[in-house]
Structure 1
């Protein structure tokens, strides 16, 4: 990752923080893009862009252009921004389906479309999306979320086919990620079976590296010990 410019969306979240910090530790220059407000000053190796709604195409392009202007190039995009909702189909709200689509599909779509020209110019462009094991077969209460993450899977495959030989596009499919929020919502679960953010970050950064130049269109399960 040495010297590469990596854009991480959802960089202030539990997984985003670990991915950004690990990438930087391996020599990458990192741009964090997030809906949350950030106040960290820009440095030569790190820039934070907060208050960005990536479900809005114009805001996504503005943020990506700012990153490219700061670093002079972009080599990898890691789409972590997203959201989760648990509700049954019959008793839930149709607006939840729209919200999940916006948070999970549109954020990845808009960030990818905005970044593609820079990645194509890189010569080693990478896009890594975060899908979900739970989108392979939706369980009760998982309809809206699983459908949106399945959309991320199809987006990954389509982009990989369209940019084969120029940009690699892959997705990781985690099971439950061991985060404080997930522990709070499932206090009786066996946390030791979950995939840790660091374990997932290692797979993501492999896919963003030169070592993964022959891997594209892959949906890679990262299921921990579930």
Structure 2
């Protein structure tokens, strides 16, 4: 039986599968929220729990956290925020505000709501929050102002959590990937040098380390996971 739980948002995505597998392998109870109906054919497993929840909605985020914190034998000790998405377009004067705000809703709002709902549980027993930003947050490129701003906001939010909760036994750190080698990214950039991209299997152990007691002295860190890109 697992003795600790982790909430992994975005656990069904390209990076999420590797992160979930890494935590399960390390003996964690992993709770993965996802939108829509849950797969009826997936076998039940004590180590992996899926819950239907819309993390852009406060009630959905609260439901996901309650599922993660609801096993007394495996209290919630970590939150990993992977939910996000990318969209490119024109320059700022060519980008509708609706598209700009969509990037904030997709990348920042779930991270805020899941973390906010989980913090009382983490304060009660100690733990860690890990957020995923992007290299674009510190090295912007043209044509994606909404994405760049949203990922920078995730980084700023994580740093705020680190400062506010350090004295309460909760750590918060952020990883910054470059382009992640996923099927979706390969399809979007078929002519790129994929060998230079960072793989989900390379990022997952870094995230697990930051969520674990092995990184106890570390909070407020910004960790580049660029691969060779």
TM-score range for the pair, normalised by the shorter chain length = over 0.9
Deviations along 1:8-39, one digit per CA (max 9) or x if unpaired, are: 00111011111001110111110011225322
Residue 42 of structure 1, CA deviation = 4.5
1:173 aligns with 2:171: no
CA contact (8 A) 2:30 2:49 kept: yes
Deviations along 1:151-198, one digit per CA (max 9) or x if unpaired, are: 000000000000003101000000000000000010111111000001
Q: Which runs of 5+ in 2 are unaligned?
A: none
Q: How many residues align?
A: 223
Q: TM-score, structure 1 length as denominator?
A: 0.94
CA contact (8 A) 2:5 2:68 kept: no
SS of equivalent residue, structure 2 residue 224: strand
Partner residue in 2 for 1:27: 27
- 2: distance between equivalents of 1:100 and 1:3? 36
- 2: distance between equivalents of 1:21 and 1:189? 27
SS of equivalent residue, structure 1 residue 216: coil
Match of 1:116 among 114, 119, 129: 119
Question: Residue 225 and residue 146 in structure 1: after superposition, are their counterparts in 2 closer, same or farther (change >3 A)?
Answer: same
Out of 174-183 and 26-35, give the one that drifted further. 26-35
- 2: distance between equivalents of 1:121 and 1:59? 22
Residue 78 of structure 1, CA deviation = 0.2
Partner residue in 1 for 2:55: 54
Q: TM-score, structure 2 length as denominator?
A: 0.93
1:191 aligns with 2:194: yes
Q: CA RMSD in A?
A: 1.4
Question: Residue 212 and residue 45 in structure 1: after superposition, are their counterparts in 2 closer, same or farther (change >3 A)?
Answer: same
CA contact (8 A) 1:10 1:35 kept: no
- 2: distance between equivalents of 1:211 and 1:10? 24
- 2: distance between equivalents of 1:214 and 1:150? 24
Match of 2:134 among 129, 132, 146: 132
CA contact (8 A) 1:31 1:67 kept: yes
- 2: distance between equivalents of 1:217 and 1:150? 14
CA contact (8 A) 1:41 1:47 kept: no
